[in-house]
Structure 1
Amino acid sequence: MENRITDLFRIKYPIIQAGMIWASGWRLASAASNSGILGLLGAGSMYPEVLREHIRKCKQATQAPFGVNVPMLYPDIDKVMKIIVEEGVKIVFTSAGNPKTWTSYLKNHGITVVHVVSSVKFAIKAQEAGVDAVVAEGFEAGGHNGREETTTFTLIPMVREKLSIPLIAAGGIATGRGMLAAMVLGADGVQIGSRFVASEEASSHLLFKQKVVEAQEGDTQLTLKELAPVRLLKNKFFDQVQELYKQSPSSEALRNLLGRGRAKKGMFEGNMDEGELEIGQISGLIHDIRPVSEIVDNIISEYSEVSKYVSRMI
């Protein structure tokens, strides 16, 4: 499956394993890269020196390309970028910030840069900033989302119309059918997050993985838009947020309820009641916990089968 994404990253399949907080450590990223896709380390839940450790372990575990996802709203960004350069990382995905801030610095060190956006407007800005590719992420995605609430099915063709650089679709994709649909709409590849949370190699807690597998349609919702919109599984903490909204709370009141370490408490430590459980709407289609290699094989197999079926229909 050769195209602009496989050429850009030197990978077999145009699939990126998303660099999710509390899930995307070196075991997941290296397993993804060893399966022929691009694995990403999730720097958002790592202190700088922890990131350095994961980069080094990932190098030992795979000879294939891998990268680092860096949410620019997190602290110690200067230290993170310095470590990425020092450790010779060749691919960086940036998100939650202005791509102009770090793109030139990274590219001057020979690093391929991809920026994550949720709108046509910011996709254009990313291209103007000189990134090598853009991830356009729809409203269906788990974790922190854009404020536009544009769905993937709508976003991808609109972004494709405006960009000349490679386009990666994200949000609501976990199967070969979803991958094919995104590429028909104009994407050159896909980024998949939630499906890889429910993998054996993900560093997220087993209780969280099981919760993802049990999720049904409607079990996630976008909330906390006054702070940073985030899609969560509904649980006791989510209910507390909804109760607070009945009082027309200030941003400060919401921030106090959120506190610190909510995501770690839920996704990494396994507190299914009090933790923040970030996952996408596609969790309703995830029914088991499997090794990354099997997940990738199933996606590619379904993609090929459905492609043949569509060709016959035409």
Structure 2
Amino acid sequence: MQNRITTLFNIKYPIIQAGMIWNSGWRLASAVSNAGGLGLLGAGSMYPEVLREHIQKCKKATDKPFGVNVPMLYPNLEEIIEIIIEEGVSIVFTSAGNPKTYTSQLKEAGITVVHVVSSVKFALKAQEAGVDAVVAEGFEAGGHNGREETTTFTLIPMVKEQISVPLIAAGGIANGRGMLAAMVLGADGVQVGSRFVASEESSSHIAFKKMVVAAKEGDTLLTLKELAPVRMLKNKFFEDVMKLYQSNPSPEELKELLGRARAKRGMFEGDLEEGELEIGQIAGLIHDIKPAAQIVDEMVTEFEAARSTVKDLF
């Protein structure tokens, strides 16, 4: 399954595991990379020295390429970038910020740089900044999202029309059929988050994984746009947010309710009532917890089967 993405990252399949906070430690990243995809460490939930430890453990667990996702809305960015360069990481995905900030520095260190966007406008800015590829993430995705509310199947062809660098689709993709559909629309590969949350190697709490598996259509919503838009499962904290919105709150009031470490409390520590439980709409299609390698294998098998089915239609 060779194309621009597999060639760029030197991987077997054009499947990237998203670098999700509190979910994407070295066990998950190495498992996905060993299975032929590209595993990413989620630096957003790691102090700098914790990230260094995860990079070193990932190196020992796989001889395949892996990368680090760096959300630029978190602190200690300069130290994180220095550690990534010092440890010889070859691939970095940046998100939630200006791609010009670190792209040149990373590329000068010989690192392949990818930036995550939610609109055509920002895809063009990322390309102008010199990135090697772009992830276009639709409104369906879990975690922090774009404000435009553009769905993946609308976003991908619009971005494809405007950029020349390789394009990775994200948001609402959890199986081989979704992968094929995204690639028919113009993507060169896919980034998968929610499906890998419900993997055995994910570092998230088992209670959160089980809640993801139990989720149905309509159990997630994008909210807190005044701060950083986030899609999450509906729970007590979510209901508290909705109740506060009835009083037309200020951003300061929303920040006070959100507090600190709310995502860690939910996804990593397993507080299903008061935690922030970030997951995508596709959770309604996730029915079990299984090894990451099995997820990759099943995606590839289903992709090939779906491709044959489509051929037979015409």
Task: Provide the residue aligned with 2:82 in structure 1.
Answer: 82
Task: Provide the residue aligned with 2:223 in structure 1.
Answer: 223
Q: Does 1:199 align with 2:199?
A: yes
TM-score normalised to the size of structure 2? Answer: 1.00
Measure how far apart 1:92 and its partner are. 0.1
Measure how far apart 1:275 and its partner are. 0.1
How far does the alpha carbon of each residue in 1:145-164 deviate from its partner, in whole angstroms, 9 at most, with x for none? 00100000000000000010
Q: Does 1:108 align with 2:115?
A: no
Matches within 5 A, 1:1-314: 1-314=1-314
Measure how far apart 1:22 and its partner are. 0.2
Measure how far apart 1:73 and its partner are. 1.1
Q: Distance in 2 between matches of 1:178 and 1:139?
A: 15
Measure how far apart 1:312 and its partner are. 1.0
Q: Distance in 2 between matches of 1:131 and 1:289?
A: 34
> Which runs of 4 or more aligned residues in structure 1 lie more than 2 Å from their structure 2 counterparts after TM superposition?
none
Q: Distance in 1 between matches of 2:273 and 2:137?
A: 28
AA matched with 1:293: A
Q: Distance in 2 between matches of 1:239 and 1:105?
A: 43
AA matched with 2:245: Y
AA matched with 1:55: I
Q: Distance in 1 between matches of 2:114 and 2:141?
A: 18
SS of 1:100 mapped into structure 2: coil
Q: Distance in 1 between matches of 2:261 and 2:300?
A: 36
How far does the alpha carbon of each residue in 1:75-124 deviate from its partner, in whole angstroms, 9 at most, with x for none? 00000000000000000000000000100000000000000000000000
* TM-align CA RMSD: 0.3
Q: Distance in 1 between matches of 2:295 and 2:107?
A: 32
Q: Distance in 1 between matches of 2:297 and 2:38?
A: 14
Q: Distance in 2 between matches of 1:267 and 1:72?
A: 20
SS of 1:199 mapped into structure 2: coil
How far does the alpha carbon of each residue in 1:261-306 deviate from its partner, in whole angstroms, 9 at most, with x for none? 0000000000000000000000000000000011111111100001
Measure how far apart 1:172 and its partner are. 0.2
Q: Distance in 1 between matches of 2:72 and 2:259?
A: 20
Q: Distance in 1 between matches of 2:42 and 2:32?
A: 13
TM-score normalised to the size of structure 1? Answer: 1.00
AA matched with 2:115: H
